[in-house]
Structure 1
Amino acid sequence: MTEAAEIEPVATADVPRRRFRIDKSLLIVSLIIGIGLALVTRGLMIGVTGDDRAGLPPLIEEVNPVPQAEQALSQTSVFVDLASGYTGQLVIDGVELPTVDVSAVANDGVEPGEQISLPAATVYEPGNATLTFIPSEAAAITEFTEGEHRVTVLYWALDETPQQARRFTWTFNVI
C-alpha cells in the first residue's frame, strides 16, 4: 500500500512557462504615481517654511507681523523678540519711536494683579528681551494705513551703545 501511495515527481521541464503580457495603461499609471510621489517627497524635503523662510538674523528670534505679510490689520502690533541680553529701538515708516523699559515704568504702589499704564511708545521687556509697539491715539503712529509699511529694528547688546547697533528691516502690507 505504501508503494501505491507514493507520489511521483513531476518534471518541470515539461510544463510550458506562462508569459504575462504587460498592461501598458497600468504601467503608465504606475509610473505617473511613482514620479508624483518622488516630486512631492522632494518638495517637502527642500521646502523652506516658517522661521527659516523669514530669513531672520540669529539674534532676532521672531518678528510680527511676519516679513512680507500680505494681510495685516490696521491696529496690528509690531513685535520683535530679541536674543537674551539685547535691547533695541523700532523705526516704522521712517518714524523713530521712543523705547520705554517696562521695569522703569512699574510703580512701587501697584497692587498685585493691578494694571499699570504704559506710555504710547515701544515697550521693552528686559526679562523677555522683546520690543512691542501698539498703534494708539497717543502714539506717534495712530494706525497703519492701507498699503505697505517698512519696519527697521535697531538692536544691540546691553553692554554696547546704540551707535554699535545692528539693523534688520522688513515690510508688511495692511489690508
Structure 2
Amino acid sequence: MTICISSLIAVSGFNLAEWVMEKSTRPKRSLFSRILGPTLVTVGITGVILGFALSNNGSTDIRVEGNPAIEALFPEPDAEVLRQTSIGIDLIAGYEAELTINGVPIPPDQINVLRDLENPRESAQTSGTFGSTLNRFLYQPLEGRAVPELQGDSNCVIAVYWPISDPTDRSTIEWCFTAL
C-alpha cells in the first residue's frame, strides 16, 4: 500500500506553491535588525542596571558605604568647609564614639550626641532613647574648647566607635577635609 505524497498534500489542503511563494516574497531582515539592534538594546539596559547597582548614593568613601555601623561622616572626606563647621560621625543606634581632631582628643563633654532631630537640646542632655535611629556625635569648634578653630588647610579626624553592648570591640575610621 503506497501512499502518494501529492495526494496527502491535496487532502490536507496544503499548497506547496503558495508556501514557497510566501517565503520568497517576505522581506529579508537585515543584519542590524536580526543581531546588532537587539544586542545594543541589551547592552544599554545592562549598562543602566549596572550603573544603578554601582552607585553609592552620593558618598565616594567605600569605608562608609561598606560599613553597616557608619551612616555618615561630617564633613565628608575631601570636602571644603568653613573653619567653624561641625565635625563628627553618624552611627547606627546602639553605638558610642570618641573624636580626635588634628591629633587633639575631644573631651566627651564637648561632643554633642544628637539622637532626636525634633528636640536636639534634650537629646544632647539625656543621650536620647535607644528607639531613635539618629545617633550623631558632633563637635563644634568654638573659643575655649579643645579645638577652637579648624586649621586653614588640611584637617584630619579619627573617630573611634564601638557597640554599647561591647565597649572592647572598638573600630577606627580616619578622614581628612580642607577648611577655608
* Structure 2 unaligned residues grouped into runs of 5+: 1-12, 113-118, 129-133
How many residue pairs get matched? 147
Counterpart secondary structure, 1:144: coil
Equivalent position to 2:27, from 20, 28, 32: 20
User: For each residue in 1:24-52, what CA deviation from the matched residue of structure 2 results, as whole angstroms up to 9, or x when unmatched?
Assistant: 4555354333322222223323x151479
User: For each residue in 1:82-102, what CA deviation from the matched residue of structure 2 results, as whole angstroms up to 9, or x when unmatched?
Assistant: 444443321011111111188
Distance in 1 (CA, whole Å) between partners of 2:85 and 2:145 is 14
User: For each residue in 1:42-66, what CA deviation from the matched residue of structure 2 results, as whole angstroms up to 9, or x when unmatched?
Assistant: 3323x15147942464444433223
Equivalent position to 1:145, from 136, 146, 151: 151
Report the CA distance shift for 1:142/1:89 in structure 2 as closer, same or farther (over 3 A).
same
* Structure 1 unaligned residues grouped into runs of 5+: 1-9, 104-112, 117-122
TM-score with structure 2 setting the length: 0.58
Report the CA distance shift for 1:79/1:28 in structure 2 as closer, same or farther (over 3 A).
same
Contact 2:107/2:146 (<8 A) preserved:
no
Contact 1:124/1:131 (<8 A) preserved:
no
Q: Which amino acid aligns with 2:29?
A: I
- How big is the alpha-carbon RMSD for the aligned residues of Structure 1 and Structure 2? 3.9
Equivalent position to 1:87, from 92, 96, 108: 96
Relative to its length, the structure with more helix (as a share) is 2
Relative to its length, the structure with more strand (as a share) is 1
Equivalent position to 1:169, from 170, 173, 178: 173
Residue number in structure 2 paired with 1:154: 160
Distance in 1 (CA, whole Å) between partners of 2:125 and 2:99 is 10
Residue number in structure 2 paired with 1:37: 45
* Structure 1 segments (4+ residues) deviating >6 Å: none
Contact 1:150/1:172 (<8 A) preserved:
yes
